[in-house]
Amino acid sequence: MQLTGAEIIIECLKEQKVDTVFGYPGGAILNVYDALYKHSDEIQHILTSHEQGASHAADGYARATGKVGVCLATSGPGATNLVTGIATAYMDSVPVVAITANVGKPLLGRDSFQEVDIAGIVMPITKHSFIVKDITMLADTLRKAFYIAKSGRPGPVLVDVTKDVTAATYEYSVRRPATINREVETIRKEDLETAAQMIEEAKKPYIFVGGGSVISGASKEISELAHKIQAPVCDSLMGKGAFSGEDPLYTGMLGMHGTKTSDLGVTQCDLLIVLGARFSDRVTGNAKTFAKQAKILQIDVDAAEINKNVLVDASVIGDVREVLRRLLEMIPEEQHPEWIEHIQEMKAKYPLTYDHSQLTGPYIIEKLYEITKGDAIISTDVGQHQMWSAQYFKYKEPRTFLTSGGLGTMGYGLGAAIGAKMGRPDKTVVNIAGDGCFRMNMNEIATAVRCHKQLLQIVMNNHVLGMVRQWQTLFYDHRYSHTVLDDAVDFVKISEGMGAKAFRVTKMEEVEPAIRKALAMDEPVVLDCWIDQDLSVFPMVPAGASLNEVFDEEDMKNNEQSV
């Protein structure tokens, strides 16, 4: 049948079983929005307050559901406003397809109104970027974009379509989406045998779980492995939920703000089994001293990650879940009672602690976990609140912790929460932000209100840029250069002005009633929680230091007394 390019775009979305898109219209993409109008009963469009919000919403939708997130934007500034969200998805391997419309083909390269080479701009932060200037290539390009976004190591793909292509007509016929198979052809028998031998010989094994384990859906296999070989388990920020935070073998996050048990345990182990993690500098600290006592076995779908940041002793390339399934059949049950007892002693000796005499971020997170029983999707922005959310909320399932790990994008969380809620409307969704982050994209509260969905926004309001201030306290001799937010911004009034319910929380005894009241409402609610500006995140490993140099407030006090 003969369809316009705009109609072909919509039909291709329907082919891919896309039910929700996030975006913001403009002149160049008007044909697509007109076609979308005619299919509003099949594809739901969420109008965000800003294109960046649309890209984060598509990202959050993808992380929460495992499906491809889709966002739309017009040419020029509409397209460039997607860039931060696309880079966020790229750094965390999130499957997103961004569809933009450009000026007509005759106007390209002429500095036309709202013209920009968006395909060129995003080239370093996408798996692939396309510009479609010929309608005969449109449908196949879109199909290819979805395949690339989903296959192997997922990631964002951008398709830019000139306006004249969206208006032209061409023959369209329905095609089933290409099957996405797990990466198994790279799994070599000899690599599996080496891995099995290393596991069998280890006396002090440790498992480190990364975001690839979530993407692979390997939770069941990781649990089986940990219990079969009696190995403690730590995770990265992106790996949260791949192994239950309530399991006795779980020791907490690894790295700069990881637990002392995880940081010291990895330093002491004799085998580190790394599942879908890329050895970020925030995890390893000084890469030259990382896990120096251990042999390292890395399992990852992306061969480029092997020996990139940390040299490993052996590796298996392939889908994490499939590798573990094969490996589990090859290894015997192992018991390491002395090692497990040592780890449990460290967990008892080095628990996460905070000041219980005043309202703090950790107290709010613990109350949220207690009230929701851990059955919620938590999104965050970036900073102290993000680390507290990783430390004090126990994630039992994958795809329940959405955060910008690689890029560290302030302003990410609210858009992601909206995307998650649209993708999984049955789940309680909570975004946790600092006041510095909330300022960046708080206009998306208006989007949340328009969606008519229950959503809780918690603002950890300390009137400073908390994590940067913490570094200024520890490493810059208390020189608080431009990190104090001493203005009259009232988040309660602003949120109410956008149509949301909002409450201020200033005391510990107000936290539980406020959270329960908010979660009982079938609409967006903002809790403006005032906490002290000098609260810090501990434990901490200084940037570039070794993991065994991890310290907490107690260590700082002891050091001050000994000086």
Report, as residue numbers or ranges, the catalytic residues. Answer: 51, 113-114, 163, 467
Chain-centroid distance of CA 498 in Å reads 27
Q: Are 410 and 437 in contact (CB under 8 A)?
A: yes
Paired tokens of 469 = 């201030």
Q: What is the dihedral of CA 172, 58, 450, 11, to 10 degrees?
A: 10
By C-alpha distance, which of 139, 34, 8, 96 is closest to 415?
Answer: 96
Chain-centroid distance of CA 321 in Å reads 20
Distance CA 167, CA 31 (A): 7
Question: Helices 361-372 & 508-519, crossing angle to 10 degrees?
Answer: 40
Neighbour-count burial for 326-335, b at 16+ CB within 10 Å, e otherwise? bbeeebeeee
Distance CA 304, CA 314 (A): 14
Paired tokens of 368 = 């949220």
Distance CA 34, CA 315 (A): 51
Distance CA 161, CA 178 (A): 22
Q: What is the dihedral of CA 555, 557, 558, 563, to 10 degrees?
A: 120
Question: In one letter, which amino acid is 386?
Answer: Q
For the sheet with 295-300, list strands across it.
250-253, 233-235, 205-209, 271-275, 295-300, 314-317
> Which ranges of 179-319 does DSSP label H, i.e. alpha helix?
189-201, 211-216, 219-229, 260-268, 281-284
Q: Is the peptide bond before 362 cis (omega within 30 degrees of 0)?
A: no
Distance CA 128, CA 113 (A): 26
Paired tokens of 215 = 């993407």
Distance CA 495, CA 525 (A): 8
Residue with tokens 């790295």: 255
